[in-house]
């Protein structure tokens, strides 16, 4: 079993002045390769919507179609059509932009995230979801009930081997989830946008984290210190692992 990590959208945000990326994971499973998030897609580079052009300007995202998940999957020697499942932490454009490049794939996510994408209630929700990402009418597979525990967290098991769980971490979005992936005898935990970029808990003050990322940042920081054997990842991570 192999887990591959790659960046699907390099960013140079003006504040703070740093370099980050959009982290995507490819997991070999009993149902073929499974993507966790997609980063930006080809359409975000070739024909971006006004909303995406604005965000690309703010966050310093360059024209780089070679960074899209579908191009990188091809470069790995993997047939894109073999990717039949995509697991989403949430549906903001910078995480879901690659969905149209895999229109045949089933998209696994929390029911609350699906609902808020359909009917955003706040101004941020209205601007952070890009309808162009869903115009191909994805094959949605939604989940709601936590039927197991992953360590101390309520967890939703997904139908794959190795084991993959959705971990509800609502806050950054109404249905935001982390994704826990079994890796041999250990675990990889993609906390998505519930923790700061590069999993650097000291880069931004906790009060700002609570506003932007949600209420779980401090809990995950404590959990990470207690479990050094788990590999913790942020949704916005640049370095290759």
The pLDDT value given to residue 241: 43
Please determine, for residue 107, whether its predicted confidence score (pLDDT) is greater than 60: yes
Average pLDDT (155-180) is 96
SS3 assignment for 101-137: HCCCCEEEEEHHHHHHHHCCCCHHHHHHCCHHHCCCC
12-16, 177-181, 191-195: range with highest mean pLDDT:
177-181
Torsion, Cα of 168, 39, 92, 89 (10° steps) = -10
Question: Domain limits of the chain?
Answer: 3-233
**In a 10 Å sphere around its CB, with 0-12 CB exposed, 13-18 middle and 19+ buried, how is residue 169 labelled?**
buried
pTM, rounded to two decimals: 0.93
What is the predicted pLDDT for the residue at 210? 66
In this prediction, residue 95 carries a pLDDT of: 95
Q: Omega into 119 within 30° of 0, i.e. cis?
A: no
Lowest pLDDT segment from 114-118, 186-190, 208-212: 208-212
HEC per residue, the chain? CCEEEEECCCECCCCCCCCECCEEEEEEEECEEEEECCCCCHHHHHCCCHHHHHHHHHHCCCCCHHHCHHHHHHHCCCCHHHCCEEECCCCCHHHHCCHHHCCCCEEEEEHHHHHHHHCCCCHHHHHHCCHHHCCCCCEEEEECCCCEEECCEEEEECCCCCCEEEEECCCCCCCCEEEEEEECCEEEEECHHHCCHHHCCCCCCHHHHHHHCCCCHHHHHHHHHHCCCCEEECCCCCCCC
Per-residue model confidence (pLDDT) at position 94: 93
Tens of pLDDT along 41-100?
Answer: 999 999 999 989 988 888 889 999 999 999 999 999 999 999 999 999 999 999 999 999
Q: Say what percent of the chain tops pLDDT 90.
A: 70
Mean pLDDT for the stretch of residues 188-199: 86
The topology under which CATH files domain 3-233 is Metallo-beta-lactamase; Chain A (3.60.15)
């Amino acid at each position: 079993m192999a887990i591959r990590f790659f960046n699907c959208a390099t960013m140079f945000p003006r504040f703070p002045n740093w370099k980050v990326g959009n982290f995507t994971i490819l997991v070999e499973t009993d149902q073929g390769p499974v993507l966790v998030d997609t980063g930006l897609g080809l359409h975000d580079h070739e024909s971006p919507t006004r909303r995406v052009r604005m965000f690309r300007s703010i966050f310093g995202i360059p024209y780089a179609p070679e960074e899209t998940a579908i191009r990188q999957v091809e470069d790995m020697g993997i047939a894109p059509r073999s990717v039949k499942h995509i697991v989403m932490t949430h549906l903001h454009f910078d995480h879901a932009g690659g969905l149209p490049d895999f229109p045949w794939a089933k998209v696994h996510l929390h029911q609350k995230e699906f609902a808020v994408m359909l009917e955003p209630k706040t101004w941020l929700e209205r601007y952070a979801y890009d309808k162009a990402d869903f115009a191909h009418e994805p094959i949605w597979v939604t989940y709601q009930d936590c039927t197991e525990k992953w360590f101390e967290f309520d967890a939703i098991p997904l139908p794959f081997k190795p084991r993959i769980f959705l971990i509800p971490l609502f806050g950054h979005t109404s249905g935001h989830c982390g994704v826990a992936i079994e890796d041999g005898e250990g675990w990889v935990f993609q906390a998505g946008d519930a923790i700061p970029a590069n999993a650097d808990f000291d880069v931004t003050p906790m009060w700002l984290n609570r506003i932007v990322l949600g209420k779980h940042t401090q809990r995950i920081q404590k959990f990470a210190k207690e479990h050094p054997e788990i590999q913790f990842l942020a949704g916005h991570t640049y370095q290759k692992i």
